[in-house]
A and B are shown apart, each in its own frame.
Chain A
Amino acid sequence: MSEASTLKLTRAFVTPEGVDLRLQLADASQRAGAFLVDAAIMVGVLIVASILIGLIGVGALAAAGLKGAEVIAVLWLLGFFLLRNFYFVGFELSAAAATPGKRAMGIRVAARDGGRLRPGAIFARNAMRELEIFIPISMLFAPAGVEGGGVEGWMYLLGITWAGVFVLFPLFNKDRLRAGDLIGGTWVVRAPKRKLMRDMADEGAERLRRYAFTQEQIDAYGAKELHVLEDVLRERDRKTMRAVADRIAGKVGWTRLAEEDDYDFLSAYYAALRKRLEARLLMGVRRRDKHDTAR
């Protein structure tokens, strides 16, 4: 995701402790991906369960006659009803507030006002799915009527338009709200499980002893360049490191020795630059990039 689109989906979210968590809303592709995963799971469960219940039903019919088959039919009807209406509600009521699809995409449901996610809100947001998904689907797959092909065609068109309006609804508001989110007072935010990445200064600080950069040499760059350098070090691609090392050495006027390792040099420079920038940050000066002349 580009930086601009990330910013567009970032929302200020101040906790009662007064810290802005800068929540990021899930984008359209994540929402669609999550839904497709959930839909696949629902269809899969439905098919497998139907086959199983069908087989058991045949067995029950043979063993206990109509009575046996009836129990099985009741099970199927209830199961279908629960799956259709309570798959989403059930999973979103859990502590993770996400269906398996949402979990796979690293997103979850949250109350828009920052308060508790109430069962009523979850029920409301998912009851609207009836309108958004199931109605258009049942319209499209309804058995074609015997009379009047023209009417059927119009119904088909209506169904597609209807579905289109609701499917594209999130794209036409800045908070990516589905009609159900609107009614439920919820939104879907990113909450991926993120591991704590290695601190790139760990290695740099050790190597720094071998490099004596002068103040001017360190002052050549700002925070933006620091983060680019951090990415380069994480990737540790030989060619890129060589190019970046040459570039930095040229800019700051550092004479490089032939046996000097690119990684050592870059990581030492990273540590030096971060130390310097953080020292100034402590004094309230944030230098954004190399063009920033903040003093």
Chain B
Amino acid sequence: MINVKVDGRLKSQRFRQEREADWKRLERLMEKVEKGSMASLSEEEILAAPVLYRSALSSLSVARATSLDRGMIDYLEMLCARAYFFVYGSRETLRSQLGAFFAGGWPAAVRGLWRETLVSVGLMVIGALVGAWLFGQDAEWYYAFMPREMTGGRDPAATTEMLRSTLDGAKSGSGLSMFATFLFTHNAQVALLAFALGFALCVPTAMLVTYNGVMLGVFFALFASRGLGVEAGGWLAIHGVTEIFAVCLAGAAGLKIGWTVAFPGERSRLDAAAAAGRHAATVMGGVVVMLFFAGLLEGFGRQLIVWTPARYGVAALTALIWGLYFYAPRRRASA
């Protein structure tokens, strides 16, 4: 097809005409990829894409050096950039990414945050102790920390009998799934907030985690003061082991970011923040999953399992499962 004999055409014109078909093919491929997914490409097309990309890239270098056809250079720059993102972009399917996340990525990220996790748990414990101590001083503190809509009648003014009744499960099964969903979405939102607030140099995240600890402390102290400590512990622990640990991890992720932004160390602040962000976000992805389980345990488990030893049993089991999953030593290959 190509007329090789010297004619009136410019060199750059011939250059373009000889390669245009390949560029158009690459462009069509990219359009297909961006519209659908990898799966929409045939095997032949997947193999062709990198080859076409490299030839377009070489066309671009040649064109920049020898051609003044601005339309062509602009077009090639955009085409090469689009193809670059495809060729060097993620080729894994969502499923294999999720697989890698649960198999090793998430526990490894959690283990990497052990220092922040300890700090976060420490803050929570301090908060709880302070809350309990304050309640011991004056029961009025209860109202200062617990939002009224959350207490649901569980406050110092209630009788011991009323308090005991709130620890029982629901009489019927209706409304549980909605309750579980509400708890999950609400808690996940708070956890995400704790993570995002870390950006402001840790302080708001630390405050949020401590505040959660204080609420826990006053709540428990209220029940303990009426001799209901063991029952309230079971009521909290059945889902709390998962939920409180998830909140601590979210706090740890936020602390990691804030700390890195404040003290980037050897690397530049931007690079360090980006690395910390990716690490912390991996933990956060998992925290949402944990909170989902916590929501199920809280919404269903707690309402249906009312016998206190059974509640403690479930709590111990979840603690064991999470502990082994995150911190048990594994072979190098999976780490």
Contacts and interface: CB of A to CB of B under 8 A. Distances in A.
Contacts of B10: 201, 205, 271, 274-275, 278
A197 interface: yes
B11 A21 contact: no
Given A130-B192, A230-B70, A277-B68, A197 B75 contact: yes
Interface string A213-231: 0000000000100110010
B159 interface: no
Given A66-B174, A97-B85, A110-B85, A182 B181 contact: no
Q: Looking at chain A's contact residues, is the secondary structure mostly helix, strand, loop, or mixed?
A: helix
Nearest to B100: A119
Nearest to B20: A196
A121 interface: yes
A193 B277 contact: no
Given A184-B277, A281-B65, A116 B90 contact: yes
Prevailing SS type, chain B contact patch: helix
Contacts of A232: none
A23 B270 contact: no
A194 B31 CA distance: 11
A48 interface: no
Contacts of B195: 127, 130
Interface stretch (B32-40, B208-216, B325-333): B32-40
Interface in A43-100: 66-67, 70-71, 73-74, 77-78, 80-81, 84-85, 93-97
B25 interface: no
A19 B60 contact: yes
Nearest to A125: B277
Interface string B240-275: 000000000000000001000000000000110111
A200 B68 CA distance: 11
A128 interface: yes
Contacts of B193: 130-131, 135
Given A124-B280, A196-B20, A183 B82 contact: no
Contacts of A182: 270, 273-274, 277
Contacts of A84: 189
Interface residues of B, number: 80
Interface in A167-196: 179, 182-186, 189, 191-196
Interface in B6-51: 8-13, 16, 20, 23-24, 27, 31, 33-38
Interface string B135-160: 00000000000000000000000000
B293 interface: no
Contact of A196 (B72, B85, B86): B72
Contact of A23 (B27, B81, B97, B276): B81
Contact of A191 (B68, B74, B85, B282): B85
Contacts of B280: 124, 183
Contacts, number: 214
Contact of A179 (B177, B199, B288): B199
A17 B195 CA distance: 38
Nearest to B11: A278
B88 A16 contact: yes
Interface string B276-308: 111111101100100000000000000000000
A275 B275 CA distance: 50
B123 interface: no
A185 B275 contact: yes
B178 interface: yes
Given A182-B277, A197-B75, A278-B11, 13 more contacts: A66-B175, A70-B175, A81-B185, A85-B188, A112-B270, A117-B89, A130-B196, A131-B197, A131-B199, A194-B78, A196-B71, A275-B10, A281-B65
Interface of B: 8-13, 16, 20, 23-24, 27, 31, 33-38, 54, 57-58, 60-61, 65-72, 74-75, 77-82, 84-86, 88-90, 94, 97, 101, 174-175, 177-178, 181-182, 184-185, 188-189, 192-193, 195-197, 199, 257, 270-271, 273-282, 284-285, 288
